[in-house]
Each structure stands twice: as C-alpha cells, then as structure tokens.
Structure 1
C-alpha cells in the first residue's frame, strides 16, 4: 500500500450550491429540449400510397409484387448479390431474410396520401376518402394485417388548402376514435412546412382534438416534412427547422426530407434532382444537427427511378436505389421513402447487408466495452450507446436475430435497451 494522499479544498461549500442554483433553469431547459432518442422502433422506410388507391389489400399487394419482381429479375441469392454487389458470404442470409420480410411484413410504415399523390378533389370526394381511410386503418389494426406504423399525410397549412387539410385530419382521426380508438402505430405527416407558425397551428389543431375527445395531452404527434428552402434557412438567417421542432412542443416525431419539392425550390433541374445532390446533403445535414438529441428522427427522401421494364432496366434502378439507401445509412439516415413495390427488395437488401456486415465488429466492441477488456479500439459511453442502437435497429427490422446478438455480446435485449436509451421500451417488433 502506498502513502495515502491528503485531500484539501479551498472553496466554501456554498460556492457549489450557488453555481448549481444559477444553472437550475439551464438544467431544466436541457432536459426539455434534448430528452434523447425516444427508444421506440424506427421504421426503415415510409411508403406513400394515394388515398384513392389505398385498399384493404394494399400492404399484401406490395409484398406480392416485390416477391414477383425478385422471382423474375433475381431468382436466387447469387443473382441478387451479383446485381447489387453484396459480398458472397452475405448473399444467402440477406436473400433469405429479404424474402421472409416480404412475406411477413412487406411494409413497415404506410402513409395514406391526401397531398401531392392525391391532389385537389371535390370536398365530398375527399371527405369520403378520409372516412374510408380511417375505417380501413382501424380494421387493419383489429385483424392484425396493419403495418407497424400507419397514418395519413394531409394537405399543408398554406392558405389555399389549409381548411381542406384541417377537415381531412379531423375526419380521419374522428373515424379512428369512433372505430375503437387511436392505434399505437398512428403517424401523421404535415407537408410543405415553411414557417414555425404553421407547426404551431397544427399543434393547436391536435390539442383541440385531444380536448374534444378527452385524450391525454400530447397523445398525437406528427412528422414535419422539409420541402422548402425557407424551412432550412429562414429570412433572418436562422435555421428555421430548429424553430419548427421547438414550435411542435414535444409533438414532433420526425423530419422527412422531400427530395423533389426541395430540389425544385432551390432551382435544381429535374435531371439532377436526387437525394445525393449537394443541395440535398446540405438540407439533411442541417436537419440532422437541429434534431440531434431532441428525440426527433431524420428521414431521407426517395428516388423517382422506378424498377420497371426489362430486366436490365430493373437492375439499373435497383443498383441506384440500393446505392442511395446504403449511402443514407452510412450518414445515419435510417429511414427513407419508397415509392414503388419494386423498391422493397433493394430497400431490405441494403438495410440487411448494412447490419449483417457490421454485426461481428459491433458486437465484439460492445462486449469488450462492457467487460472493460480493452482491445484495438478505445470506446466511450457514447459509442456504446451507438453500438447498442445499431444492433437494436438491426433486430427490429429483421436483419438480425435477438438470439445471435445475445450470443455475440452476452447482453439481453433489456441490457441493449438500457445502453441505447433511457427512454427505450416503446413499440418494438421482435423478428424471428
């Protein structure tokens, strides 16, 4: 035993007390503004279907069409791996899991679209479509055929369509309440937001609905769609998207990037409008920084290049979509839009290869961190949190199995939840 050190201090105890008292309001503000990730499952994509095209069989039809595309254009694991450049050692597990996913749960998040995909209609027609959407969503959740997340994209808060958007939202939500209540996976998307005041107005709409039906305050959340340059940089030079998150008063669940509206807004010609354009990268980077720590998630946009036609044309579209999805994942955009059933095979192939190829390293690093075993990488608590989140996202979407993650890390699902987020424990789906 060495000599015990003598400990001496110079400051009176009141100094620390005074400092803590002076930061009380800051502590409260940090907790309010930056609560961290909500810990719920984040879908890997959002599928948009026009309200007039949505039926009780839409989800299954998308899965069947995606499976048919695989059978026609990449009938086995080697063929799919060759088209997309997937390493051969991952070819079988990725291919098998993609097929299983398309059979079991082809769509993770469905938005019934009353905006651009639906367009202006006579009021009576949209009224009926909104009521029908509510009935079909309620029936899907009741009979177990629903996607984990479902909801609508209403028309925006701009003057020309504001009343229509409010009425459609009211009809849809009222229909759900009368059919048995709001489902846990309900999601609303507010498009073309330009000013924070439009977010404030939508919050007031949801508050009024909750008050009318005796729902808990804050029960209804929504996504903010970023489709205008003004939502990134306001006229006064501030990041308007950060003010929008604040205006949502804790109800914002996501920021969704609108590839084509945003590109057109900043003058990108149609031939170059894509989610990897520098203008898109800038917008999403601002969104990402504004949302960091708030619990609001960032979602990438879509490609409008559809995998249809002869096999070579399908393969070209698949390679493009696969590459854009992998690029987004590397940049921590874990969700994107899919516009066609033919995009589902490459969405899941990209997501599954991303998580499976990194499984071994992530698991070993996390296990070494927990065991304080050291190694060739010095990880910190923030990295352990990120590693756990990576593994959990892989499990939630079906890329990884809970058992294999537990075997490699020595950690249970509850352990991983604890590392990933103190708030974790919301809607999850355990993959087989």
Structure 2
C-alpha cells in the first residue's frame, strides 16, 4: 500500500521534532545517579571542630543504646506495626535476639521480627561508622548576627578546623557552609564570610576543596541572587587556581515568593537556570517558610499543610531536572528533661517517655518526607540521628520487594528490546527505578548483592547509570 505522506516531508517534520525532543531532554535529563545524602546536619560555625562529625556519632549511638538498648524497645517506642506481639521481659527479648542472630539471613526473613532486628542492627552499625553523611557549617540562623570582628574570626577558625578534619579524615562525606542571604542588609557580610572562609581553607589545604563541598545560599527569592553567587564563585576560582565550575551551590525554599512570584509563576526553574549548572540541590526551610505564610510559632511544624503545598510545587517545578530535593527539620529534640546521675525510677521513666515521644515525632516526619519523594532532610542534634536512620531503613527495606519486582521487570523488558531512538526515554525511566536501590545502598539499608536479584550484574549496579546498562545490553542483542 502506498503511503500518503511523502518521505522527505515526513523526515523534515521529524527532524524538527527531534530538536524539540532533545532540548526537552537537556532540561529534564531525569534523576541523577550521584549519591544523595539522607540528611544534612546543621551546626553553628562557632561550634564546629575537626572532629564534630565523629563526636556526633558517638553521642547518637550512646543516646540510642540508653533509650532503646535492643530492637524490641525501639519497635515499641515507635509503636511499629505488630509491636504488641513482641516479648515484654528482658529474658524473652534476649532469647528472641539470640535466635535471630543464629539464623541465616534467608531464614531470618521468615521470622515476624526480622525487619526490626535488621533495622536496629543497621542503625548501630551506621552510627558507629558514618553517623553524619552531610554537615553544614552554619553562618546564618545557627550562628546569628554578631559583630563583624567575631564573624571574621569564626570564618577563619572554622575553615582551619575543616582543613584539619580533611587531614585527619574525620569530616562527613558531604560538607559545606551556609552563608547569610543576599538581601540588601546582609549581602556584604555574606560575601565577606564566603571569601574569608574559602581563602583560609584553600590556603591551609593548598587549594584542595573537600569532596562534595557546597555553599548553601538561604532565603533565595530572585534569580539574580543565584547568578551573583555564580559570578563570585568565578572570581574565587580564578584567585585560588581552582578549576572552572569547582564550586557548587544549593538554594533554599524558605519564602512564599520562591513558590509563586509577583506574576503568579513558580520561579524555581529560573533560579536553577541562573545558577548556570552549579546548583545541585534545593532544601526546604520549614520554619522560615511557615513564618512567611503567617503561621504562628505554635503551629510551625513539618506536618502543617502549607509545607506539603510547597513540597508539591517544588516537585512539580524541578521534577526530572536532576536537582536533589531535601525536606526540613523537626524542631522537637529527643533530649531527656531530667538530668543527673542519681535519678529515681520515676524520673528515668519520665526521661524515656519524653525521648520516645520525640522519637515518634521525628520518625513520623521523616517517613512522611520519604513517602512524598524527599529522600533527604535536616537534623539539628545528634539525638535525632537514630530516628533518621530508623525511618530511612524501614522505608527502603519495607519497599524492597515491590521495587525489586518493578526493576526486574523493566530490566527484562529492556534486555529483549531492540535499539531504538527513544533509548534516552527508556534510560530515564530505568534510572528512576535504579536510584531507589542506589539510595538504599548508599545509606546502608541494603547491600549491592541484594540488587542482583533484579537481573543486573554487580558491574552494572556499580556503573550507577541505567543508560550505560541499557546501551550495553542492547549492543549484546
């Protein structure tokens, strides 16, 4: 049968469409395969020391073992599903733990308590080895407005401590600073702190930045604030002999104007474009944002509906761009109200009840973030770290079977498909599925070997790129 559309006319139209498709794919490349930390811990710059991250891990582990010495206590404290069926007395808990320890991993999964046992074990291991994944040396809210001479001295001292931490290998795998916002009243102070900190750091390290170093710019409302930081980065890179593009930034979603501008548009994408490829993440500032919405202090919480609205708007604006998204912080700190070494049984119980109540709030907030596709959040205190990992590990392990089936099905379909021009579309979809497992591996929820059940090889998993996996398999076929 003769076709009605002439070949040359069809090709001309499809070539025009190709230009539009490729332009779209450049703007929305899909999820990045890079590692995203599960949290960012904030601390005032005046308190930062070379071993801050290590000490936070020690405090966090002691806190967990004090208020949840075993997995049963943790499950009951968080009121996890089926916690009522777990043993109550110490002897029975010890017997259950011993039995689970003696089982192989395969057999252990047949036991109702395996998930909570596994999660607790992973939390202890994480707090012992890499409790803090990302740390922000804070010159903004965590530091406050101080005399110029004091902030100057703090910028120099904090930079020297960071250089020492790099030398001693005691810093977190991701690290950076938060400067003050580029508002009219604070822009000069902000730039001076940035310059002082980086100049001191690079002098101490002979122009070597820490791995995964980033500068966070808070309270961004207009693209010009991001573009100004880019120009400053260029000047600093040139002055210190850094490669072009070495300095990266993050923006913060803290005001209603970054969700909707004066023309009724969401300006987030314009802010990202203004960063000229240097912005890697957008962090939600719970308390500044709720305040900008006119919410009174009593009701400024991550659970407030205005936060979900901002989250959804951010997801819609930046979905598919590869920009990492981070939720905010829980301001209920699980710290015991009663202090001292010789406390009564009633006081000890009051402490446990108070800590467990705060744990449930923090755990619930983290779970809510994960369910809404925010795989990173803020922590303010080492006592919050156990619940960060409890929520994260339960989320990934609880969704493991479903995610495994979905990725396995996609891999099998990709393996038998022929090489077509929509390979990028396939790769973007597969990358989103693969990233679930990459995030789970990065934080310690699962091992690389547990991903092999999808049909991927260890080499393919380690490539972290579904495009390369797909390309390699299609060449084989």
TM-score for both structures, normalised by structure 2: 0.81
Structure-2 residue corresponding to 1:427: none
- Could you say if the C-alpha distance between residues 48 and 230 of structure 1 is closer, same or farther in structure 2, counting changes exceeding 3 Å? same
Structure 2 residue 450 is the aligned partner of structure 1 residue 404: yes
Verify the 8 A CA contact 1:38 1:421 in the aligned structure 2: no
Following superposition, the deviation at residue 262 of structure 1 comes to 0.6
Following superposition, the deviation at residue 410 of structure 1 comes to 3.3
Equivalents in 2 of 1:383, 1:276: separation in Å? Answer: 30
Structure-2 residue corresponding to 1:36: 30
Unmatched 5+ residue regions in structure 1? 1-6, 374-379, 425-432
Verify the 8 A CA contact 1:38 1:423 in the aligned structure 2: no
Structure 2 residue 433 is the aligned partner of structure 1 residue 387: yes
Following superposition, the deviation at residue 295 of structure 1 comes to 1.5
Structure-1 residue corresponding to 2:59: 65
- Could you say if the C-alpha distance between residues 367 and 22 of structure 1 is closer, same or farther in structure 2, counting changes exceeding 3 Å? closer
Provide the aligned C-alpha RMSD in A. Answer: 2.2
**Over alpha carbons, which structure has the higher Rg?**
2
Equivalents in 2 of 1:155, 1:367: separation in Å? Answer: 46
- Could you say if the C-alpha distance between residues 211 and 11 of structure 1 is closer, same or farther in structure 2, counting changes exceeding 3 Å? farther
Secondary structure, counterpart of 1:394 in structure 2: helix
Residues 297-336 of structure 1 aligned to structure 2 (within 5 Å): 297-309=324-336, 310-336=351-377
Following superposition, the deviation at residue 422 of structure 1 comes to 4.2
Secondary structure, counterpart of 1:216 in structure 2: coil
Following superposition, the deviation at residue 25 of structure 1 comes to 5.3
Equivalents in 2 of 1:403, 1:276: separation in Å? Answer: 36
Structure-2 residue corresponding to 1:428: none
Residues 161-240 of structure 1 aligned to structure 2 (within 5 Å): 161-178=186-203, 179-180=205-206, 181-240=208-267
- The superposition leaves residues 338-376 of structure 1 with CA deviations (integer Å, 9 ceiling, x where unpaired) of 011111000001001111122223223322332349xxx
Equivalents in 2 of 1:126, 1:225: separation in Å? Answer: 22
Verify the 8 A CA contact 2:411 2:456 in the aligned structure 1: no
Structure 2 residue 323 is the aligned partner of structure 1 residue 296: yes
Equivalents in 1 of 2:457, 2:163: separation in Å? Answer: 34
Equivalents in 2 of 1:362, 1:168: separation in Å? Answer: 45
Following superposition, the deviation at residue 268 of structure 1 comes to 0.9
Following superposition, the deviation at residue 319 of structure 1 comes to 0.3
Equivalents in 2 of 1:211, 1:26: separation in Å? Answer: 36
Residues 65-104 of structure 1 aligned to structure 2 (within 5 Å): 65-86=59-80, 88-104=113-129
Verify the 8 A CA contact 1:66 1:345 in the aligned structure 2: yes
- The superposition leaves residues 259-289 of structure 1 with CA deviations (integer Å, 9 ceiling, x where unpaired) of 0011011111112111121111111111111
Structure-2 residue corresponding to 1:120: 145
Following superposition, the deviation at residue 21 of structure 1 comes to 4.7
Equivalents in 1 of 2:3, 2:169: separation in Å? Answer: 64
Equivalents in 1 of 2:392, 2:433: separation in Å? Answer: 16
Equivalents in 1 of 2:32, 2:413: separation in Å? Answer: 27
Equivalents in 1 of 2:388, 2:282: separation in Å? Answer: 20
Verify the 8 A CA contact 1:37 1:421 in the aligned structure 2: no
Following superposition, the deviation at residue 382 of structure 1 comes to 6.0
Residues 127-146 of structure 1 aligned to structure 2 (within 5 Å): 127-146=152-171
Equivalents in 2 of 1:29, 1:382: separation in Å? Answer: 15
Verify the 8 A CA contact 1:386 1:420 in the aligned structure 2: no
- The superposition leaves residues 163-197 of structure 1 with CA deviations (integer Å, 9 ceiling, x where unpaired) of 11111111222223221311221011100111111
Structure-2 residue corresponding to 1:10: 4
Verify the 8 A CA contact 1:218 1:251 in the aligned structure 2: yes
Following superposition, the deviation at residue 61 of structure 1 comes to 1.7
Secondary structure, counterpart of 1:52 in structure 2: helix
Q: Which has the higher helix share?
A: 2
Secondary structure, counterpart of 2:291 in structure 1: helix
Structure-2 residue corresponding to 1:430: none
- The superposition leaves residues 105-145 of structure 1 with CA deviations (integer Å, 9 ceiling, x where unpaired) of 01000000000110112222212211222222222223221
Equivalents in 1 of 2:462, 2:41: separation in Å? Answer: 27
- Could you say if the C-alpha distance between residues 320 and 39 of structure 1 is closer, same or farther in structure 2, counting changes exceeding 3 Å? same
Secondary structure, counterpart of 1:329 in structure 2: helix
- The superposition leaves residues 356-399 of structure 1 with CA deviations (integer Å, 9 ceiling, x where unpaired) of 122223223322332349xxxxxx87654333111110000011
Verify the 8 A CA contact 1:226 1:256 in the aligned structure 2: yes
- Could you say if the C-alpha distance between residues 271 and 23 of structure 1 is closer, same or farther in structure 2, counting changes exceeding 3 Å? same
Secondary structure, counterpart of 1:69 in structure 2: helix
Following superposition, the deviation at residue 411 of structure 1 comes to 1.7
Verify the 8 A CA contact 2:51 2:171 in the aligned structure 1: no
Following superposition, the deviation at residue 30 of structure 1 comes to 2.4
Equivalents in 1 of 2:135, 2:326: separation in Å? Answer: 14
Unmatched 5+ residue regions in structure 2? 82-112, 337-350, 415-425, 470-477
Secondary structure, counterpart of 2:135 in structure 1: strand
Verify the 8 A CA contact 1:154 1:191 in the aligned structure 2: yes
The structure 2 residue matched to 1:342, chosen from 372, 376, 383, is: 383
Following superposition, the deviation at residue 252 of structure 1 comes to 1.0
Following superposition, the deviation at residue 231 of structure 1 comes to 1.0
Verify the 8 A CA contact 1:210 1:217 in the aligned structure 2: yes
Equivalents in 2 of 1:410, 1:421: separation in Å? Answer: 13
